[in-house]
Amino acid sequence: MDKTAMSKQDLQMRKKIKTSVSDRIIDIITYIVYSLFAFVCIYPFYYIIINSISANNLSERGKIIFWPQEIHFTNYENVIKIPGLWDAARTSILRTVIGTVLTVMIAAFLGYMFTRQTMWHRKLWYRMVTVTMYINAGLIPWFLTMKLLGMTNNFWGYIFPMIIQPFYIVLCKTYCESVPPALQDAAEIDGAGTLRVFWSIMLPVIKPILATIAVFAAVNQWNAFQDTLLLMTKKELYTLQYVLFQYINQASSLKALVSNNTSSSAMMASLAHAATATSIRMTVTVVVVFPIMCVYPFFQKFFTKGIMIGAVKG
């Protein structure tokens, strides 16, 4: 068979013929289904946005469904005015960048290393790492361990506990296993050591999964607040999510305030007029998601195009 001799025109004609009725149907169904899904996903977010900029009392009554009414930006102003917000944001960015880079590198490295059948007791170590996904020691021993290791009131307490993620390692390993061995063999014949193969051959090839892990890890780092809650008391180490978490809970601790029956009723009344908890949650959600959505498209392009540039020539 002489495929290579076929002219470009012939190929294109064949392609056209293949765009048959069944193809069209698939297209139409796909567009409809995904449009519906997109709507179902974006409407709640739209709902959150319009509610956060509409008058709080209208929002609480559930009146804002399609359009914002009595637009105001006080909710956002209040969030921006939270003391320590910008310092916390900077800390968050720092931990996200450092944490993500390290998580991705480690996941890739360990994922690749665990494919090396020649490693001493490979299976044992691999199992040792994966099993940690399912065992939970409990809050108090975790905290005491952190204290022992000096992770309290220490920026590295945000990093070390989170950079070895078995799930990502498994993903990387699976991905590495689907890379044609010919690629690795070629490099090794050329005299490359394990590290070299990893850095120069594997890493470029598994970019899509790395981008995926980067997104997952970055979001985890960005959203984490429980570690701040338990490990940090110095406000220089507060992260954005923690500051916002406090802010949300202060608003909804109206409940706590009112159950304290010895508080003055003036206090009650004042809080009655303050921003309602749900509006605050919505505003905070938008504030937190906005930076993520800004950065996301940058990663998206890594897992939406093929990059297997024929490294193996026939």
Partner 1 sequence: MKKILSLLLTAALLLGMCSFTVAVADEPMEIVFFDDAANYNGEQTGWFAKVVLDRFNIKLNIIATQVIGDEVFATRSADGDLGDIIIMDKTKFADIVKAGLVKDISDKIGDLTNLQPFMTQIDAFNQKFLGKEAGVYYGIPDQMTDTSAVGLTGEMIYSSPQVRWDLYKAVGMPEVKDIDGLLDLLVKIHEIHPTNENGDPAYPFSLWPDWDNGDNMSGPANVVQLTTWFGDKMKGSALLKADNTFVKLYDKDSGYYKITKFINKAYQLGLVDPESFEQDWNALPTKISTGRVDLLWYNWQQGFWNSQDRLDNGTAFQTIPVEGFNFYADADTFYGGDRAWGIGSKVEGEKYDKIIEFLNWYASPEGLTFEHCGIEGLNYTVGEDGKFIPYKDNALMDNLPVPEEYGGGGYQDGNNAINQWLLASICTNPNTGETYDMKYWASYIAKNMTEMKKEWQERFGANDPVDWMKKNNKVIISPNCIAEMETDSDDIAVLRNSIDQVLAQYTWQLFACENDDDFEAKWDAMVAEIDGLDYETLYNFDVAKWQVQVDAKIAAASAK
Partner 2 sequence: MQRLSPKQKRSFLEFGYILPFLIIVLLFSYFPLYGWVYAFHDYKPPFPIGADTFVGFKWFETIVNNPTRLKGVIRVLRNTFAMSGISLLFSWFPMVFAVFLNEIKCKPFRKFTQTVTTLPNFISWVLVYAFAFTLFGTNGAVNSVLKDLGWIEKSIPFLQSSDHIWFKMWLWLTWKNAGWAAIMYLAAISGIDDQMIEAAKVDGATRMQIIWHITIPSLLPTYFVIVMLNLANFLSNGMEQYYVFQNAFNKDYIEVLDLYVYNLSTSGTGMYPLSTAISILKSVVSVALLFMTNTVSKLVRGEGFI
- Does position 260 bind partner 1 by CB under 8 A? yes
Angle, helices 166-177/85-113, rounded to nearest 10 degrees: 40
Give the residue with the Cβ less far from partner 2, 93 or 219. 219
Q: Of the ranges 66-74, 163-171, 184-192, 261-269, which one interacts with partner 1 (CB under 8 A)?
A: 261-269
Binding mask 165-194 for partner 2 (x = CB under 8 A): --x--xx--xx-xx---------------x
Q: Which of 49, 129, 147, 219 binds partner 1 (CB under 8 A)?
A: 147
* Cα–Cα distance, 72 to 77 (Å, whole number): 10
Dihedral angle over CA of 13, 18, 20, 23, nearest 10: -130
Which residue matches tokens 């997109």? 38
Q: Which of 49, 85, 98, 129 binds partner 1 (CB under 8 A)?
A: 98
Give the residue with the Cβ less far from partner 2, 52 or 91. 52
Pick one of partner 1, partner 2, none as the site partner of residue 12 (Cβ within 5 to 8 A by kind): none
Dihedral angle over CA of 276, 279, 280, 284, nearest 10: 170
- Does position 33 bind partner 2 by CB under 8 A? yes
Tokens for 312, please give them.
Answer: 């193996």
DSSP assignment, residue 5? G
CA atoms within 13 A on the CB side of 33: 6
Give the residue with the Cβ less far from partner 1, 220 or 276. 276
Give the residue with the Cβ less far from partner 2, 36 or 268. 36
Give the residue with the Cβ less far from partner 2, 126 or 242. 126
**Rg of the chain's alpha carbons, rounded to an integer?**
26
**3-state DSSP helix/strand/coil percent for the chain, to nearest 5?**
70, 0, 30
Tokens for 282, please give them.
Answer: 């919505």
Residues that bind partner 1 (CB under 8 A): 57, 60-61, 83-84, 90-91, 94, 97-98, 101, 139-140, 143-144, 147, 155, 229-230, 233, 235-236, 245-246, 249-250, 252-270, 272-273, 276-278
